[in-house]
């Protein structure tokens, strides 16, 4: 939102009488050390330095997804990347086709790139209720496209390319690589080589924001290791016993250590990127002077139309068609929750070519008239793409609501005759239904949740667990094992042991859990192999699909989908709130005597 | 010792699984069963001692070792799978795993009780239950099938330093009797063999063992004898006492 406000403010400011906008953004700012002077004007500080941080931020997210998340599977990651490549080439060809023979052909770089920040912002705004995997698709698409576009800037629009400083950048990157190899985990230590890398890129003439991408690609990432967690826990305990500054510091360090720099950096950067970097960028770049004359001129020039059609039609066609072709060859490569309609919606949004388009405009055109035409074209394309995308997502949202009227509502109420219940289903005033999956690492801490729930809410809350195995290979096998344990009256014991083993990746883990839960292994194996509990599992899976549940665990508190953080405290707070609300309702419903 | 030659060959074709194979009693039982011609699956916790025993028995195709902690159901089940995978069936189970701690009751360490209950009783339950299925299958096939539990009797009321151990042993005896009623009709013989141990608790552990009137070889001979009897007869309970007592 703040991004749109900043854009709006920039437009107003630029159209105020006088030249305060241009003057301000061209103020030089720099450092001078003796003979050495280094300065950039304000706009370049924003575009080259702040935006490097932004691209680093986006790259961190993509890398995390590549390493640990949705895109770990190359089959999946390849779709948005291929679509992004098509989205770079097709619009450029369209632009060249339209402007062929004019002097504006050289501006093809204006239409190659989607604006990552805008498209994600729009998606957050209009794509509410869309599958989270769609956002990951868009992020990957946008970042691949940014990397491509930065390449275009670097090689097509760099006048004075100077390879020597790139050695400096390479040295900085090598230092980061060595630090990573040595397992340096203190985030700030990475800052110094990062600045060196940035300066290297800047001096070489290659766009300096590439430094952000390169650095973010190199920062270490890993999922939290159990050892580190234990160490952190020990340090915390030490701090509890002797709360001194020293033990506080080592506790802090061991906590930080347990989380990779990638994730810490990502979280640390997020507020700055959202509330400072992007708005400032919009403010400094979107200031186009608009007059009736300039508009009339722009919309009669092939340059403007080349940009508008290249971005809006080119991006849409390229991304949709490329994705469609890839999924013909590799069905399921998009994942279960995304369909072609989602992709078309996203591809419409992808016509928002704001940041890099405006950036390239400055590089590609010298004639102020051409610059103005191009800027108007970019703004028009961005607004048009945003509107089309918004309309597409409104239709999509309405269609989904129609197809999945139950979204966010629990389809099958807690039923003590089919669901194992903790607490008392008769006296409970709030029900909690969890849809979970033992094959993901997120299953942990459910035991703690269960104990808390019993302790804190006693007979007021009834809790059950249902299965949402999603597509991990052993998810369903683990769910069936849990149901097989029900035959021996040990559903919850088996659940605790499966959680202790989670993520379940081998059948041996399941057998170990069964032994630890104290089951008769022979009967267990028979019931498990014959899928004795398949009916409940399959019903749960079917319900999950109908309700469009796409992440495990999902909680329904009092029949409503719970959407916040899934740590024990947050869920329990929500349960407590629901209980209080329900108790309050009851007070009013039953007249007091 | 003297019975060894006489029993030779009477268990040819049988597949025996021995829990506590590396123990004082278990090792002797393994030797005896192997000499009598049985294939032996030796189950113990200590890989080195299992290997040593296997070498001593000359290795060969008829000996298999399995590392398992009898208190772990999963380990015991793995041993069952290994035995079946190697020999196809099991028709003789000997549970000789056990620990003994002695002390005046008021000085007893509860963790020691826990260990005795875990190993001697719960472990024996795991082993018996896990192997009940293959044993019953062998019995159904018309052959002999034996479940041999090694218990213990306290012989001297004047040095009652084995209260908890004796209580656990009594539970084992009761289990054997009840299982006999449950499995006898299905053709599976359940035996309980109870050696009486010396009441001389003052001397050193090894010396005590060496001086024990009832030696492991004797117990092993009784196991072989019981397993070798015709299907119709069950040497149900055997108490082996030092001649000088009683």
Q: Does A526 touch chain B (CB under 8 A)?
A: no
Most confident of the following: A115-119, A136-140, A208-212, B236-240: B236-240
| pLDDT tens-digit readout, A456-507 | 777 788 888 999 887 667 888 999 999 999 999 999 889 989 988 878 888 8
B184 cis-preceded (ω within 30 degrees of 0):
no
Closest listed residue to residue A160, CA positions, set A209, A107, A206: A206
Nearest 10 degrees: Cα torsion A292, A293, A296, A299? -100
Closest listed residue to residue A288, CA positions, set A20, A44, A9, A10: A10
For B114, the enclosing helix (H) or strand (E) is helix B110-116
Last residue of a domain, one of A402, A422, A448: A402
- Please indicate whether residue A67 or residue B44 has the higher confidence score (pLDDT): B44
Closest listed residue to residue A356, CA positions, set A140, A84, A153: A153
What tokens appear for B217 in the block?
A: 């070889």
d(CA A45, CA A53): 11
- Please indicate whether residue A402 or residue A214 has the higher confidence score (pLDDT): A214
Residue B7's pLDDT band (cuts 50, 70, 90): very low
* Domain containing residue B227: CATH number: 3.40.50.720
Q: Quick check: is B122 in a domain?
A: yes
- In the three-class reduction of DSSP (H, G, I as helix; E, B as strand; rest coil), residue B205 is classed as helix
Tell me the mean pLDDT in the region A334-345.
Answer: 79
* Domain containing residue A49: CATH number: 1.20.1530.10
Q: Quick check: is B93 in a domain?
A: yes
- B74 with A522: Cβ contact below 8 A: no
For A556, the enclosing helix (H) or strand (E) is strand A554-557
- Chain B nearest-CA distance from A126, in A, is 53
Domain total of chain A: 2
Contacts of B77 in chain A (CB under 8 A): 511, 515, 521
Give the pLDDT confidence score for residue B246 in this predicted structure: 54
- Is the same domain home to A453 and A550? yes
Q: Quick check: is B74 in a domain?
A: yes
- Is the same domain home to A336 and A454? no
d(CA B73, CA A440): 26
Helix extents (H) in A425-489: 446-457, 475-486
Nearest 10 degrees: Cα torsion A337, A343, A349, A354? 100
| pLDDT tens-digit readout, A509-524 | 999 999 999 999 999 9
Domain interval for residue B154: 3-240
d(CA A545, CA B86): 46
> Which of A512, A515, A522 has the CB atom closest to B133's CB atom?
A522
pLDDT at B66 > cutoff 80: yes
Taking CA atoms, A36 is separated from A42, A160, A172, B67, in Å, by 19, 20, 21, 74
- Is the same domain home to A37 and A120? yes
Helix extents (H) in A157-208: 164-182, 191-204
Residue A284's pLDDT band (cuts 50, 70, 90): confident
Q: Is there a contact between A197 and A172 (Cβ–Cβ < 8 Å)?
A: yes
Across chain A, mean pLDDT equals 80
Q: Quick check: is B214 in a domain?
A: yes
A28 bridge partner residues: A41
d(CA A523, CA A519): 8
Q: Quick check: is A528 in a domain?
A: no
- Chain A nearest-CA distance from B124, in A, is 15
Domain total of chain B: 1
pTM of the full structure: 0.58
- Is the same domain home to A90 and A143? yes
For B190, the enclosing helix (H) or strand (E) is strand B189-195
Q: Quick check: is A33 in a domain?
A: yes
- Is the same domain home to A372 and A451? no
pLDDT at A576 > cutoff 80: yes
d(CA A336, CA A343): 13
Across chain B, mean pLDDT equals 87
pLDDT at B240 > cutoff 80: yes
Most confident of the following: A88-102, A130-144, A274-288: A88-102
Handedness of CA B106, B108, B114, B116 (dihedral sign): negative
| pLDDT tens-digit readout, A524-534 | 999 999 988 88
DSSP A310: I
Taking CA atoms, A528 is separated from A2, A89, A370, A486, A523, in Å, by 54, 53, 71, 11, 8
| pLDDT tens-digit readout, A398-448 | 877 776 555 677 888 888 888 998 888 888 888 888 888 887 766 556 666
- Is the same domain home to A75 and A132? yes
Contacts of B122 in chain A (CB under 8 A): none
* Domain containing residue A455: CATH number: 3.40.30.10
d(CA A409, CA A405): 9
Give the pLDDT confidence score for residue A223 in this predicted structure: 65
- Interface probe for B, chosen from A515, A520, A523 (most Cβ of B below 10 Å), is A515
- Is the same domain home to A212 and A149? yes
Q: Quick check: is A178 in a domain?
A: no
Q: What percent of chain A has pLDDT over 90?
A: 9
- Chain B nearest-CA distance from A434, in A, is 30
Q: Quick check: is A514 in a domain?
A: no
> Which of B74, B129, B130 has the CB atom closest to A512's CB atom?
B74
Taking CA atoms, A96 is separated from A102, A112, A153, A472, in Å, by 10, 12, 17, 46
Q: Is there a contact between A578 and A557 (Cβ–Cβ < 8 Å)?
A: yes
**Crossing angle of helices A191-204/A164-182, nearest 10°?**
160
Residue B20's pLDDT band (cuts 50, 70, 90): very high
Domain interval for residue A397: 2-158+207-223+260-402
Give the pLDDT confidence score for residue B185 in this predicted structure: 94
- Is the same domain home to A398 and A346? yes
- Interface probe for B, chosen from A493, A501, A509, A521 (most Cβ of B below 10 Å), is A521
Helix, strand, coil % in chain B, rounded to nearest 5: 50, 15, 35
Q: Radius of gyration over alpha carbons of chain B, in Å?
A: 17
d(CA B2, CA A190): 79
For A28, the enclosing helix (H) or strand (E) is strand A28-33
Contacts of A515 in chain B (CB under 8 A): 72-74, 77
**Crossing angle of helices A209-218/A132-156, nearest 10°?**
130
């Amino acid at each position: 939102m703040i991004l749109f406000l900043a854009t709006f403010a920039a437009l107003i400011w630029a159209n105020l009488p006088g030249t305060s906008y241009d003057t301000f953004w061209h103020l030089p700012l720099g450092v001078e050390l003796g003979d050495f002077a280094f300065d950039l004007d304000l706009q370049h500080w924003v575009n080259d330095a702040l935006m490097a941080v932004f691209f680093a931020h986006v790259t961190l997210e993509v890398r995390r997804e590549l390493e640990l998340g949705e895109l770990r599977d190359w089959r999946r990651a390849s779709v948005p990347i291929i679509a992004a490549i098509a989205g770079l080439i097709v619009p450029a060809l369209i632009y060249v086709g339209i402007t062929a023979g004019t002097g504006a052909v050289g501006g093809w770089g204006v239409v190659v790139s989607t604006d990552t920040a805008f498209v994600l912002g729009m998606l957050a705004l209009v794509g509410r209720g869309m599958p989270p995997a769609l956002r990951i698709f868009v992020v990957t698409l946008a970042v691949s496209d940014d990397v491509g576009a930065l390449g275009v800037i670097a090689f097509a629009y760099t006048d004075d390319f100077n390879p020597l400083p790139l050695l400096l950048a390479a040295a900085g990157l090598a230092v980061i690589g060595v630090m990573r190899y040595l397992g340096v985990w203190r985030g700030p230590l990475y800052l110094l080589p990062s600045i060196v890398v940035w300066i290297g890129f800047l001096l070489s003439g290659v766009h300096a924001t590439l430094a952000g991408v390169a650095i973010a690609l190199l920062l270490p990432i890993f999922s939290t290791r159990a050892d580190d967690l234990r160490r952190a826990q020990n340090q915390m305990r030490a701090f509890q016993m002797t709360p001194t500054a020293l033990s506080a510091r080592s506790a802090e360090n061991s906590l930080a250590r347990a989380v990779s720099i990638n994730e810490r950096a990502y979280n640390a950067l997020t507020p700055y990127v959202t509330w400072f970097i992007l708005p400032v960028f919009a403010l400094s770049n979107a200031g186009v002077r608009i007059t009736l004359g300039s508009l009339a001129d722009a919309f009669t020039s092939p340059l403007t139309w080349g940009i508008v059609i290249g971005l809006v039609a080119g991006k849409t066609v390229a991304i949709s068609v490329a994705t469609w072709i890839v999924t013909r060859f590799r069905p399921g490569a998009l994942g279960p929750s995304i369909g072609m309609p989602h992709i078309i919606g996203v591809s419409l949004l992808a016509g928002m070519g704001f940041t890099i388009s405006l950036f390239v405009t400055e590089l590609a055109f010298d004639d102020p008239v051409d610059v103005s035409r191009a800027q108007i074209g970019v703004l028009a394309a961005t607004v048009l793409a945003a509107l089309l995308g918004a309309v597409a997502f409104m239709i999509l949202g309405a269609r989904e609501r129609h197809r999945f009227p139950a979204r966010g509502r629990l389809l099958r109420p807690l039923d003590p005759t089919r669901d194992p219940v903790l607490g008392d289903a008769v006296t409970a005033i709030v029900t909690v239904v969890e849809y979970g999956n033992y094959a993901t690492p997120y299953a942990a801490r459910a035991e703690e949740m269960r104990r808390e729930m019993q302790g804190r809410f006693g007979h007021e809350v009834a809790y059950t667990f249902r299965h949402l195995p999603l597509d991990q290979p052993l998810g369903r096998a683990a769910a069936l094992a849990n149901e097989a344990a029900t035959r021996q009256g040990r559903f919850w014991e088996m659940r605790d042991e499966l959680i202790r083993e989670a993520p379940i990746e081998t059948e041996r883990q399941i057998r170990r859990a069964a032994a630890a839960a104290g089951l008769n292994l022979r009967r267990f194996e028979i019931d498990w192999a014959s899928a004795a509990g398949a009916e409940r599992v399959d019903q749960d899976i079917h319900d999950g699909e109908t309700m469009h549940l796409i992440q495990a665990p999902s909680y329904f508190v009092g029949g409503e989908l719970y959407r916040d953080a899934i740590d024990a405290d947050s869920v329990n707070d929500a349960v407590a709130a629901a209980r209080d609300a329900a108790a309050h309702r009851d007070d009013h419903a039953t007249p007091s005597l | 010792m003297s019975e060894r030659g006489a029993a030779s060959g009477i268990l040819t074709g049988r597949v025996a699984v021995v829990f506590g194979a590396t123990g004082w009693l278990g090792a002797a039982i393994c030797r005896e069963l192997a000499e009598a011609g049985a294939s032996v699956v030796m189950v113990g916790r200590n890989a080195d001692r299992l290997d040593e025993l296997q070498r001593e028995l000359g290795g060969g195709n008829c000996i298999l070792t399995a590392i398992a902690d009898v208190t772990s159901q999963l380990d015991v089940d793995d041993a069952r799978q290994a035995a079946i995978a190697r020999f196809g069936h099991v028709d003789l189970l000997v549970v000789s795993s056990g620990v003994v701690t002695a002390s005046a009751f008021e000085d007893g360490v509860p963790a020691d009780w826990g260990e005795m209950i875990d190993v001697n009783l719960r472990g024996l339950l795991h082993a018996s239950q896990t192997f009940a299925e293959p044993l019953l299958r062998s019995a159904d096939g018309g052959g002999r099938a034996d479940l041999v539990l090694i218990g213990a009797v306290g012989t001297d009321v004047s040095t009652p330093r084995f209260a908890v151990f004796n209580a656990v042993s009594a539970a084992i005896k009761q289990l054997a009797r009840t299982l006999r009623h449950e499995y006898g009709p299905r053709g599976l013989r359940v035996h309980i063999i109870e050696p009486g141990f010396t009441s001389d608790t003052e001397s050193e552990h090894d010396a005590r063992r060496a001086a024990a009137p009832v030696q492991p070889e004797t117990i092993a001979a009784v196991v072989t004898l019981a397993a070798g009897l015709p299907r119709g007869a069950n040497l149900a309970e055997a108490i082996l006492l030092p001649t000088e007592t009683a």
